[in-house]
Amino acid sequence: MCGIIGVIGTSHSASLILEGLKRLEYRGYDSAGIATLDKNTINRQRSAGKISNLEKHLETNPLTGLIGIGHTRWATHGPANEENAHPHSDGQVAVVHNGIIENFQKLKDELSDCNFESTTDSEVIVHLISYYLDRGDNLIDACRKMKARLKGSFALAVISLKENDTVIGICQGSPLAVGYGNGEMYLGSDSLALLPMTSKVSYLSDGDFCILKSGSVQFFNSENKNVKREIKELSIDASSVSKGSFDHFMMKEIHEQPQVIRDTLNALIDSSSRTSDLSQLNIDINDLSKITIVGCGSAYYAGLVSKYWFEEYAKIPVEVDIGSEFRYRNHPLPDKGLAIFISQSGETIDTLYPLRLCKEKGQYILSIVNSPESTIARESDSVIKTLAGPEIGVASTKAFTTQMVTLAVLALFIARKRNHLSEKKEQELVSALLELPEKISEILNAQDSINKVASQIKDTQNVLYLGRGHNYPIALEGALKLKEISYIHAEAYASGEMKHGPIALIDSHLPIVFIAPSDTLFSKSLTNIEQVSARGGRVIALTDEAGSEKLNGLHEYLIKLPKAHEFVHPILYSLPVQLLAYYTAVLKGTDIDQPKNLAKSVTVE
Ligand code: G6P
């Protein structure tokens, strides 16, 4: 949700900022811009659209200067045009902003003498800083006073002619990291953006303010106390953020699933006893009264799948909710409740706010995140890391399946601790999880049938996904993936609900994807398949050998998957729905890694 970068201390500042912005493009790609400070002038270049537009623009209009800031935008206030592109500047101050200024209109009214050039909420920050500078404050005090006036969430980078050897970084509700170079210093919305320049970073805490000079940084906390922030060494390999031989990050990330699932399992399972090992969790499991799970998008669907596992094996009531809904419900949360927050980025504001609410209400906070340094991780009582590695494609794939794997192990761990699961049964279920990487590789080696189905649905307007039990959330995920990257409208229902409404849509045009492995509910799914077929509907069946034998030709297309333990079906059946969306999008020629209007990290409400 907007990415920001700051660089100080190198004559290559503009090109480093451009490279950093490319790595932040997953946060938004509506417009981009860079401002540098050069010999007492602020120079800016901005372009609507993707960073490649800005890059072309910079080839003929290069920017020089030892100090600079840059931005890639996901529009919230005002259209995605050049006027609204960051950095905003009045010639004396330039600012890039990630987040939302909730009281911008009130501030804008107060500053009505200023010349506003954009319709963004962010530009008010520039004029506020200049207001204080013009009344004699130095840049740091002017920024502090400005910060005190803002309501909302923001990560900011500020430069000014008044102190042309400084970049100011401010973080409140949106993340910011400082990178340490050789005499150079960097600021970025995440550490991935800084990776090509440095592996040494510090993360700002919420409310922090930092002052970057060439070769040094000072941090101040929300009470304006000079504080130290730990310098961490990044262990991520810079090549993990490249596409390698794949055409898209999404396909690369789909193919990484066998390995990242293996890595995630290895960290959570005792391989000698084949049992779950989450002893690092400091929760009184026997006393647990309820589990509340919150996430958004795919993370929410991973939570929905786990509800079936927690209830089946750990015999514990579970409530799963979407972050944006959870926060505005007034729900009684019990004593000794466990609240689980699932997030790839660990920064999704709709997930973070419910976390804070649950904390206030005395819940034990456990987060399952892919970014261990994220705000959600930092604010949790315990964290389980999914070891998916950096996920760049906007449509989540490997993060989603590693979230499910983690939740599966957690469900088994809690089940055993509560004496609802024998060691033998746990070993059987853990073995099923351990077999996943191999079975996923089998699917990846036989993608022809999926590609063929994609060619049949690419021109349709609508697709319906149906699934039962713990596979129902995979139908939801399948529909989400198709919508996100191919722009085909798709909906998902629990198969049994079809007769209560969507059945009216069935005709010879509507493709209906059934997630129907041969499990204990297969006979029920088969009934639904028959109902569709009887009405001349187009059945695309995702099932295994045993299931396919029982289909009796009711299907138009069949995507056959390896036989697996019922427990892991939701994880395994995620693969064909990811691939179906991917191939359909390839045939439609859409921008798969950066679908229109979406962003990977959504840090606004
Ligand atoms: C965005 C992404 C989705 C993702 C959701 C939650 O909407 O496009 O792919 O599932 O955010 O993100 P999180 O980082 O919290 O998992």
In 3D space, the residue among 453, 485, 516, 512 whose CA is nearest the CA of residue 581 turns out to be 485
Average pLDDT, the chain: 93
C-alpha 346 – ligand 1 centre gap (Å): 9
Residue 210, amino acid = C
Which is the closest atom of ligand 1 to the Cα of 399?
Answer: 16
Q: Which has the minimum average pLDDT: 280-294, 349-363, 426-440, 529-543?
A: 280-294
CB 324 within 8 A of CB 350: yes
User: For the segment 293-320, what is each residue's pLDDT rounded down to a tens digit?
Assistant: 999 999 999 999 999 999 999 999 999 9
pLDDT at 495 exceeding the cut of 80: yes
User: For the segment 566-580, what is each residue's pLDDT rounded down to a tens digit?
Assistant: 999 999 999 999 999
Give ranges for CATH 3.60.20.10 in the chain. Answer: 3-240
**Average of per-residue pLDDT across 135-154:** 94
**Average of per-residue pLDDT across 178-188:** 95
**Average of per-residue pLDDT across 373-394:** 91
Per DSSP, 434 falls in state H
**Average of per-residue pLDDT across 114-124:** 93
Residue identifier of the C-alpha nearest atom 3 of ligand 1: 297
Residues recognised as catalytic? 2, 600
What's the CATH fold of domain 243-434?
Answer: Rossmann fold (3.40.50)
C-alpha 402 – ligand 1 centre gap (Å): 14
Binding site membership of 324 for ligand 1 (Cβ less than 6 Å): no
The CATH number of 445-591 is: 3.40.50.10490
Counted residue by residue, the chain has a size of: 605
Q: Which has the minimum average pLDDT: 83-87, 97-101, 238-242?
A: 238-242
In 3D space, the residue among 189, 195, 215, 212 whose CA is nearest the CA of residue 68 turns out to be 212
CB 346 within 8 A of CB 367: yes
pLDDT over 90, % of the chain: 78
Comparing 41 with 598, the larger pLDDT belongs to: 41
For a mutational test of ligand 1's pocket, the pick from 27, 293, 298, 477, i.e. the residue with the most ligand atoms closer than 8 A to its C-beta, is 298
Strands (E), 149-302: 152-160, 163-172, 177-180, 185-188, 200-203, 209-213, 216-220, 226-227, 232-233, 269-270, 275-276, 290-295
Cα distance between the two ends of the chain: 11
Q: How confident is the model at residue 441 (pLDDT cuts 50, 70, 90)?
A: very high
Q: Is 317 exposed, middle or buried (0-12, 13-18, 19+ CB in 10 A)?
A: middle
Q: How confident is the model at residue 40 (pLDDT cuts 50, 70, 90)?
A: confident
Is the link from the previous residue into 576 a cis peptide, with omega within 30 of 0? Answer: no
pLDDT at 186 exceeding the cut of 90: yes
CA distance 63 to 55: 11
Binding site membership of 403 for ligand 1 (Cβ less than 6 Å): no
Q: What angle do CA 164, 167, 171 make, to 5 degrees?
A: 155
Q: Is 156 exposed, middle or buried (0-12, 13-18, 19+ CB in 10 A)?
A: buried
Q: Is 507 exposed, middle or buried (0-12, 13-18, 19+ CB in 10 A)?
A: exposed
pLDDT score at 239:
66
Angle at which helices 257-268 and 398-417 pack, to 10 degrees? 20
pLDDT score at 601:
74
Which run of H or E residues covers position 564?
none
Per DSSP, 457 falls in state H
Note the Cα 410 to chain centre separation in Å: 21
Per DSSP, 92 falls in state S
pLDDT at 373 exceeding the cut of 80: no
Helices H, strands E: what count in the chain? Answer: 21, 27
b/e for 372-403, b at 16 or more Cβ within 10 A? Answer: ebbbbbbbbebbbbbbbbbbbbbbbbbbbbbb
Give ranges for CATH 3.40.50.10490 in the chain. Answer: 243-434, 445-591
CB-CB neighbours of 467 under 10 Å: 30
Which is the closest atom of ligand 1 to the Cα of 351?
Answer: 15
**Average of per-residue pLDDT across 365-394:** 92
C-alpha 348 – ligand 1 centre gap (Å): 7
For a mutational test of ligand 1's pocket, the pick from 26, 174, 385, 602, i.e. the residue with the most ligand atoms closer than 8 A to its C-beta, is 602
User: For the segment 151-177, what is each residue's pLDDT rounded down to a tens digit?
Assistant: 988 999 999 999 999 999 999 988 899
Per DSSP, 173 falls in state B
Non-local CB neighbours of 366 within 8 Å, separated by 6+ positions: 281, 283, 338, 339, 340, 341, 380, 381, 382, 383, 384
Q: What is the DSSP string of 101-155?
A: ETTHHHHHHHTTTS----S-STHHHHHHHHHHHHTT--HHHHHHHHHHH--EEEE
Binding site membership of 402 for ligand 1 (Cβ less than 6 Å): no
User: For the segment 249-299, what is each residue's pLDDT rounded down to a tens digit?
Assistant: 999 999 999 999 999 999 999 988 999 989 888 888 888 889 999 999 999
Binding site membership of 297 for ligand 1 (Cβ less than 6 Å): yes
Q: How confident is the model at residue 238 (pLDDT cuts 50, 70, 90)?
A: low
CA distance 317 to 320: 10
* Rg, the chain, Cα only: 25
Which run of H or E residues covers position 189?
none
Which is the closest atom of ligand 1 to the Cα of 345?
Answer: 14
As assigned by CATH, the class of the 3-240 domain is alpha beta
C-alpha 324 – ligand 1 centre gap (Å): 12
Binding site membership of 298 for ligand 1 (Cβ less than 6 Å): yes
What residues pair up with 325 in beta bridges, in sequence order? none
pLDDT score at 134:
96
What residues pair up with 220 in beta bridges, in sequence order? 209, 226
